[in-house]
Each structure stands twice: as structure tokens, then as C-alpha cells.
Amino acid sequence: MNNDGYRFKTVTMDILINDMRFNKGTPAAGDSLPEFNLTSTSGERITWQNFGGRPVLLTVGSTSCPLTAASIPALKRLREEFGSEIEFVMVNVREAHPAENLGQPETFEQKLEHARALKEQYEIPWTVVTDDLDGSFHRSLDTKPNSAYIVDRDGVIAFRSLFASDERSLHEALTAVVTGKDPSKTESQAMFAPMARSFGYIQEVLGRAGPQAKRDMWRAAPPVVIAGLVASLFSSLAPEKRGAPAMALLAAMLVGGLSGIFFLLA
């Protein structure tokens, strides 16, 4: 299908707004993970049976997605702690910010190459698989750019997070699952911290995708691009740590600007 706009060519405000919340009726805690038969970057067919009854942390992402880039350090830390008991899998889905250098794939072979580029770009040590061209598995979950699902040994979703960089929530849920308990909360739609982490990656990731990616975001969400530009001022910090000082600086600039306006009007 590109018949419903799944493989969009241009990022719009409507797409970004839809990314901010799970849609009603999509698989959540207590539901079975939708069946899948996906292809790994090595060409192997991957189904639920490949995981041998182990719990799974399944995430989705793409090379042109700053949120995906921001999630990788957190996921690597989680795998270091839980990797002996939890299988980690990332599903390469549609490009979040298609542009000249990284457009939406036109063939399955191109999409598989995008999955390989994703794994190589971020040196991902766990299995990366790719969905079919029209995103059948992605759409059966919910078409978010970087969501995460913790699935128990029986293939039932125990927890889902809107963003895979929500490290604290994922850590709490994984801790419960590996000890045979139900997570105390079954969903996180926290947005502020994951978005802030992504600001440090915006310039690099969108720049790598191509000029269109930045133009689209200037049209759809200029404050996000501005936050990314400010975050780039803190290049001495790791990218995932640049968002917080960028937000603080922007807040100070806003307060200063408003104070100046009030002073002039007084």
C-alpha cells in the first residue's frame, strides 16, 4: 500500500501529531503481539519461534529518525544489563524523514538495504529485521516512528512505550518481566524527555537524510528544528545529553525576550 499514505514522501504536521500518542484499538498490554515473518539483515526469516520462548524487547526505527538515533545508547545500556535474559529486536520501518539521500524504499530489496544501513550506522549488536514494503507488521502494531514493546514468553505484550529512549520506564518493566512479575505500569507515553534527547541528533540525522528533511521540518515543526540548532551548540556533550541544556537556554532566551517586551511596554 502506498494507497493510504504509509510511505509518505513529505513530513507534515498531521504526521507528527499522530506520532505523539498511541492510537486507540492498537495492540497494548494483555494483547498478543501480531504475528510476523520478517527478514533479518543477514537474510534470515525471523518469526516468534526464533526466540525460543524468551521475552523480547521489540523496537521500531529508521535511519532518518532522530528519535531512533537517540534511543540506541539507552537500548545498548539496557541490553548490557538484560541481554542474557531478554531478546532484543529492532524492526526497520518506513523512513521517518525521507529526503534526497534516503527516500522511502520503492522495492523490498531497497528496504532491506535501509535496514542494513541502520544496523551499520548505529553499530547495533542485536537483530535488525525489516518489515515488508508496505509496512504490514508496523501497521498491525501502530505506525509510530520509534515505539517499544516488551513481550513475555507467551507472546503477550507486557508493556509498551511510545519512545524507545524512555529508558527509565523500559528498565522498570524489564526488571519486572525477568523476575516473572507484571510491570507496575503497562504503558508509557512520556514525551518530554525522549524528545529532548532527540534534539542532539536532529542536525546530524536530518542532514544525512538530505536537505528536504530539514525543509520539511521547518514547515511542519520549526520549534523542533530550532531546538536542534541550539542543541548543536553543546557539541562537547554526548548527543543524548545536549537536549536538556538546549531547552534551558531556549527557556532563558524566551524569558529574557518577554521581559524585554514588558520593559518596553511599561
DSSP per residue over 79-139, as a string? HHHHTTTSEEEEEE-S-SS-BTTB---SSHHHHHHHHHHHHHHTT--SEEEE--TT-HHHH
> How many alpha carbons lie under 13 Å from residue 208 in its C-beta half-sphere?
15
pLDDT band, residue 197 (cuts 50/70/90): very high
Of 88, 129, 126, 127, nearest to 108 by C-alpha is: 129
Three-state SS at 61: strand
Three-state SS at 58: strand
Lowest model confidence (mean pLDDT) among 33-42, 63-72, 243-252: 243-252
pLDDT band, residue 261 (cuts 50/70/90): low
How far is Cα 198 from Cα 177, in angstroms, rounded to an integer?
Answer: 27
Sign of CA dihedral 25, 26, 32, 38: positive
Higher pLDDT, 51 or 147: 147
Question: How much is the pLDDT for 3?
Answer: 47
Q: Is the pLDDT of residue 2 over 60?
A: no
Q: What is the identity of the amino acid at 16?
A: L
Stretch(es) of the chain classified as CATH 3.40.30.10: 13-190
Find cell 523500559 and name the residue.
Answer: 170
Distances (CA, A) of 242 to 20, 59, 163, 198: 21, 23, 18, 9
Question: How much is the pLDDT for 259?
Answer: 61
The residues, any chain, with a CB within 8 Å of residue 160's CB and separated by 6 or more, are 22, 27, 28, 29, 147, 148, 149, 150, 186, 187, 188
pLDDT band, residue 1 (cuts 50/70/90): very low
Q: Within its chain, how far is the Cα of 244 from the centroid?
A: 19
Taking residues 108-117, report their average pLDDT.
98
Q: Write out the DSSP string of 127-169.
A: EEEE--TT-HHHHHH---SS-EEEE-TTSBEEEEES-TT-HHH
Taking residues 50-67, report their average pLDDT.
96
Burial track 46-78 (b if 16+ CB lie within 10 A, e otherwise): bebebbeeebbbbbbbbbbbbbbbbbbbbbbeb
Write out pLDDT tens, residues 147-157.
Answer: 999 999 999 99
Q: Could you say which architecture CATH assigns to the domain 13-190?
A: 3-Layer(aba) Sandwich (3.40)
Give 3: exposed, middle or buried? Use CB within 10 Å, 0-12, 13-18, 19+: exposed
Q: Which residues pair with 151 in a beta bridge?
A: 56, 157
Pairing type for strands 157-161 and 187-188 reads parallel
Query: Percentage of residues in the chain with pLDDT exceeding 70?
Result: 94
